[in-house]
Structure 1
């Protein structure tokens, strides 16, 4: 599971995507996710899918590895799609039983939701794979910088987000180690009824929480030992620079928006 979950991991590289300003990548990913909800026809989803795949190819990340990283979230997507299919009525009714039904509009909306989920996962994961956690923190702080005028603790918010993002793979590694240790002691996480499976997770959660709190305390101690006292008056060793590729990305997204508006169903 740890090898499959790639969200939060950074893969070093020298691709066009890696060299872009993290602010452009972060803002571009949010914009792409937003316009994904404008797609309402198969041509528009195919168009956005082609754009997302192009980004993956430009990052020089193996697409098969990318698909394996998305796999742990498939069950959540399937559950959401199933709810949409069973509770949406319209068009030709293929099957009906009580409050549940399988209709033409339900199947179509369910598939559209599946496509939106995949676009969102591909885009957000692509950003984390090609952006170091520290650069991500700097980008978040830079984008939220105008909120300082209304006394929003921008630096602290960016720090919390970057730490949380950084420790996603670490927690997954810790989970795998605890699961292996529990299996060595005879725990079977996949056997029995649902109640028994839930009970089997308890020996996993308790040491995971204890380990997480210990790691948080060690991190706080290390930051204090290095003189960290908040973001007020701090200077930056790394300077974010907006380059030509970042400006090209803005133009590309403008073209994508026009193409999407042309392809979507009115």
Structure 2
């Protein structure tokens, strides 16, 4: 699961077993894993789903440093959400701590643990799978397999590619302002000024890009050909089957052991 740098495009080519899979298969797998887990909030289903997702995380092709950087927000959000639920969640069972509106009870602690695990079980596979998706491959799959309008797909792809330039433009603006001696103003004023300049620059670049794409026939209404055919292999089907099995096993375990807690209805647990 190492990374290689493509000298032709400058992009990182990941060699993990899941990395070369279809972008549409990764998108579908992330949805198949995440959406069913929203139905129940209990420790068992979230724990089973998180445990079964570990092989997918290991085979994604992300390096350890990249994995921790991309998922850092989840590792921060999970304990914070758990702390909030523990202090202000529904009270049941033994009360361990109480002060003003804060009340820590057996039920709130159980709900807090389930919430933290649920955030990780839903977020980690989604973030990791999306991290290995190439926007160009996703656009090819959406247009060729889902038959989405080519003008919409290509326009969205062009806009998404431009997002990567915003950080470079921001740094360039900061250096230019510093060279002119106007970088020592207040942070708020400086930030607003740079944001406005970046907004104007983005509009100009978007207009130029739209004109260039129109000149190259991207706005045509005829049938479009594609330089990269969308491919779907056996590995893509296996990935979807695994994505279906993970929430199925997790929710089945919750029902069998009586921990199922439907978020829109009463729990089956006694």
Question: Which TM class, normalised by the smaller chain length?
Answer: 0.7 to 0.9
Rounded to whole Å, the distance in 1 between the matches of 2:37 and 2:178 is 42
Partner of 1:154: 149
- Structure 1 position 259 matched with structure 2 position 254: no
Alignment of 1:40-119 (within 5 A): 40-71=41-72, 84-91=85-92, 92-96=94-98, 99-119=101-121
2:160 corresponds in structure 1 to: 165
Q: Whose helix proportion is higher, 1 or 2?
A: 1
Determine whether 1:234 maps to 2:232: no
Do the aligned residues in 2 keep the contact of 1:141 with 1:158 (CA within 8 Å)?
yes
SS at match of 1:12: strand
For the 8 Å contact 1:22–1:135, the answer to whether it is kept is yes
Alignment equivalent of 1:250, drawn from 240, 245, 257: 240
Q: Residues 260 and 120 of structure 1: is their aligned pair in 2 closer, same or farther, counting only changes over 3 Å? A: closer
1:29-73 deviation line (CA, Å, top 9, x unaligned)? 111121232453334323322343322321221123211123357
**Cα distance change, pair 84–209 in 1 and its aligned pair in 2 (3 A):** farther
Aligned-partner Cα distance in 1 for 2:123–2:232: 26
Cα 1:39–1:67 change in 2 (3 A) is: farther
1:122 aligns with 2:131: no
How many equivalent pairs are there? Answer: 242
The alpha carbon displacement at 1:172 in A equals 3.1
- Answer yes or no: is the 8 Å Cα contact 2:47–2:121 preserved in 1: no
For 1:157 and 1:85, locate their aligned partners in 2 and report how far apart those are by CA, in whole Å.
45
**Superposition RMSD in Å:** 3.3
**What secondary structure, in the 3-state scheme, does the structure 1 residue paired with 2:19 have?**
helix
Of 201, 205, 219, the residue aligned with 2:195 is 205
- Contact 1:89–1:102 under 8 Å retained in 2: no
What do the CA deviations read for 1:120-175 (whole angstroms, capped 9, x no partner)? 44333333432221111122334543xxxxxxx73344334433433333323333
Rounded to whole Å, the distance in 2 between the matches of 1:156 and 1:82 is: 46
In the alignment, the residues of structure 2 paired with residue 115 and residue 200 of structure 1 have an alpha-carbon distance, to the nearest angstrom, of 41
Conserved in 2, the CA contact under 8 Å of 1:23 and 1:139? Answer: yes
The 1:53–1:167 alpha-carbon spacing in structure 2 relative to 1, beyond 3 Å, is farther
Question: Which is greater in Rg?
Answer: 2
- 8 Å Cα contact 1:25/1:127 also seen in 2: yes
- Give deviations 1:206-257, integer Å, cap 9, x for gaps: 1221222122112112212222114641122222222111121233233323
2:18 pairs with 1:17: yes
TM-score for both structures, normalised by structure 2: 0.72
Partners of 2:171 and 2:113 in 1: how far apart?
33
Gaps of 5+ in 2: 1-10, 261-270
- Bigger drift between 16-25 and 249-258 goes to 249-258
In the TM superposition, residue 80 of structure 1 has moved relative to its aligned partner by: 5.5
After TM superposition, the score normalised by the length of structure 1 is 0.73
